[in-house]
Amino acid sequence: MISFKKLTLELPENRHVLDRSKNTQFPLIIHRILIFFRTVSINIVPLHGLHKAFEIDGFISHDLTAISVDAFVQESRPGRYRFTLAHEMGHVVLHREFFRQYVFKNVDEWKKLTQALSPLDYGTIEWQAYQFAGLILVPPKVLRIQYYEATKMAREKGVWKGKQAAPMVRQYLANWLAKQFVVSTEVIERCLQRDKL
């Protein structure tokens, strides 16, 4: 399997997308990215009870033309919804050939496919799509700017003293940043680690 770095940073088509995301209006409107990636739009299909029945928020169709998303997530959890779309778009960009070699018509067949993969292979493609979504929704350059803005506010309010933030202050910063980027605090925490902030 090709490395994530090669897929996201060295292949010209993928590098162009990531570079473009750095200059996009903040927070990024994920639907624009979906259009940018494909000349034919990807259909978004809400499915009621997807998460409850299968413990997933979304999945991409084998022909890469539709992203099925849990209807509750789409309607009520904007951060999770945006991340799910970006994550599935990561599969479109990074794993196109993988998905094209398998045919699955519904979520049951998709789950069977994922269970048939080795834990290493499945973990790798999911990790790559997760990282891709993080790079698109929380670009390093923009995160750095927002992070320093948040730390400046925390210092001005006397919440942060010293060189390193206490765990409670770090959680406060992650919560604030999550609202700015419209993603979960977990996504922000991983992106802060990614960017060594």
Q: Are residues 164 and 116 in the same domain?
A: no
CB 74 within 8 A of CB 46: yes
Q: Are residues 36 and 107 in the same domain?
A: yes
φ/ψ (deg, to 5) at 63 = -90, 5
CB 110 within 8 A of CB 59: yes
Pick the last residue of a domain from 90, 107, 137. Answer: 137
Pick the last residue of a domain from 104, 120, 137. Answer: 137
Q: Are residues 120 and 30 in the same domain?
A: yes
- The residue written with tokens 């259909």 in the block is 43
Pick the last residue of a domain from 92, 118, 137. Answer: 137
Q: What is the number of structural domains in the chain?
A: 2
Q: Are residues 21 and 102 in the same domain?
A: yes
Edge-first strand listing for the sheet containing 43-47: 43-47, 66-70, 58-60
Q: Are residues 105 and 157 in the same domain?
A: no
Q: State the pLDDT at residue 87.
A: 93
Q: Does residue 158 come out as left (phi exceeding 0), alpha (psi in the -120 to 50 range) or beta?
A: left
CB 48 within 8 A of CB 74: no
Gyration radius (Cα) of the chain, Å? 18
Q: Are residues 45 and 131 in the same domain?
A: yes
Q: Are residues 55 and 103 in the same domain?
A: yes
Q: Are residues 22 and 41 in the same domain?
A: yes
Q: Are residues 104 and 169 in the same domain?
A: no
Give the CATH number, domain containing residue 9.
1.10.10.2910
Question: How does pLDDT run along the chain (197 residues), one tens digit per residue?
Answer: 444 444 444 433 444 444 444 444 555 555 555 555 554 567 889 999 999 998 899 998 888 888 999 999 999 998 899 899 999 988 888 888 888 888 888 888 888 888 888 899 889 999 999 998 998 889 888 899 999 988 888 888 877 776 666 777 888 889 999 999 999 999 999 999 989 98
Q: State the pLDDT at residue 32.
A: 55
Which range marks the domain in which residue 35 is found?
4-137
Q: Are residues 44 and 109 in the same domain?
A: yes
Q: Are residues 128 and 40 in the same domain?
A: yes
- Considering the entire predicted model, what is its pTM? 0.78
Q: Are residues 125 and 160 in the same domain?
A: no
